[in-house]
């Protein structure tokens, strides 16, 4: 069982999660653990708040308790699926009978974990759901000579280990999940930061510059590309060689 006093180690995969949990002590503990793993976490303490946030923000995963004030978790789950909200939902609840699990999964939950639980198992299940949402099965993403291990959060290029901060890793992983496709600054912002973050929007460009210095400097071909007026992309194998756009002075 996760205790509010536990302090979790930092690694990092920046993904935006909605945690729906009315037990405030457990919610604080989980938020701390998830944030120290690099996740951006928004919290809802009742069904009404969860409903509003899930329907107004594009989350990567929703971690959902079932026994909630105002609107219960199963009703929320049914509503979201009927409205076409496809966000992966991991049910995290004390209701652990076979009937409860079958009902939750049949209503559209992607995974079901009962309390008490171990944080490591929750994190592993979250990583699996995130890979599934991007149609990635293997834990290691390979792009040219770049290898990103989404389980251990380690990065290598041409066999050389590259040390990234949790935020840098999260940005790189997000680009890798969308490799070959342009992601806008707004898309990056929405996945890097939670609702309480007060950073300014140009922080995305700052972290792109940090990544370029670590991932591309001294290597060929450059993998982090700029599309003027659109955003950024991580080069895919099929990206034309002449698609490079040199970074501006502020990005290099």
Domains by residue range for the chain, with CATH: 16-133 (3.40.50.2300), 140-243 (1.10.10.10)
Confidence of residue 109 (pLDDT cuts 50, 70, 90): very high
> Which residues face 62 on adjacent strands?
18, 89
Length of the chain as a residue count: 252
**Rounded Cα–Cα distance for residues 43 and 80 (Å):** 17
Say if residue 17's pLDDT is above 90: yes
Residue 49 contacts by C-beta under 8 Å, 6 or more apart in sequence?
A: none
- Residue 189, pLDDT score: 81
Say if residue 44's pLDDT is above 90: yes
**Rounded Cα–Cα distance for residues 131 and 133 (Å):** 5
**Rounded Cα–Cα distance for residues 71 and 79 (Å):** 11
Q: What is the mean pLDDT of residues 17-30?
A: 96
Confidence of residue 3 (pLDDT cuts 50, 70, 90): very low
CA-closest candidate to residue 212, choices 245, 237, 186, 241: 245
**Rounded Cα–Cα distance for residues 177 and 174 (Å):** 5
Say if residue 159's pLDDT is above 60: yes
What DSSP line would sit under 145-204, residue for residue?
TEEEETTTTEEEETTEEE---HHHHHHHHHHHHTTTS-B-HHHHHHHH--TT----TTHH
**Global pTM?**
0.63
CA-closest candidate to residue 243, choices 154, 180, 165, 173: 180
Confidence of residue 145 (pLDDT cuts 50, 70, 90): very high
188, with CB counted inside 10 A (0-12, 13-18, 19+), is buried
Other Cβ atoms less than 10 A from the Cβ of 166: the count is: 18
């Amino acid at each position: 069982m996760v205790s509010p006093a536990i302090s979790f180690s930092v690694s990092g995969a920046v993904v935006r999660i909605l945690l729906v949990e009315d037990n405030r002590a457990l919610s604080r503990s989980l938020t701390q653990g998830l944030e120290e793993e690099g996740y951006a976490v928004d919290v809802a303490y009742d069904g009404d708040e969860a409903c509003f946030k899930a329907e107004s923000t594009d989350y990567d995963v929703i971690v959902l308790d079932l026994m909630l004030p105002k609107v219960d978790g199963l009703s929320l789950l049914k509503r979201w699926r009927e409205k076409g909200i496809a966000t992966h939902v991991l049910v995290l609840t004390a209701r652990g009978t076979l009937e409860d699990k079958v009902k939750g999964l049949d209503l559209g939950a992607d995974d079901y974990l009962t309390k008490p639980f171990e944080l490591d198992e929750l994190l592993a299940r979250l990583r699996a759901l995130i890979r599934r949402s991007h149609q990635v099965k293997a834990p290691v993403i390979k792009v040219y000579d770049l290898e990103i291990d989404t389980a251990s959060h380690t990065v290598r290029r041409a066999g050389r280990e590259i040390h990234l901060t949790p935020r840098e890793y999260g940005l790189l992983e997000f680009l890798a999940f969308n490799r070959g496709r342009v992601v806008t600054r707004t898309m990056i912002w929405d996945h890097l930061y939670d609702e309480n973050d007060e950073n300014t929007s140009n922080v995305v460009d700052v972290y792109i510059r940090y990544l370029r210095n670590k991932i591309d400097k001294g290597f060929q071909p450059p993998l982090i590309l700029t599309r003027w007026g659109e955003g950024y992309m991580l080069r895919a194998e099929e990206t034309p060689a002449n698609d490079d756009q040199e970074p501006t002075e502020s990005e290099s």
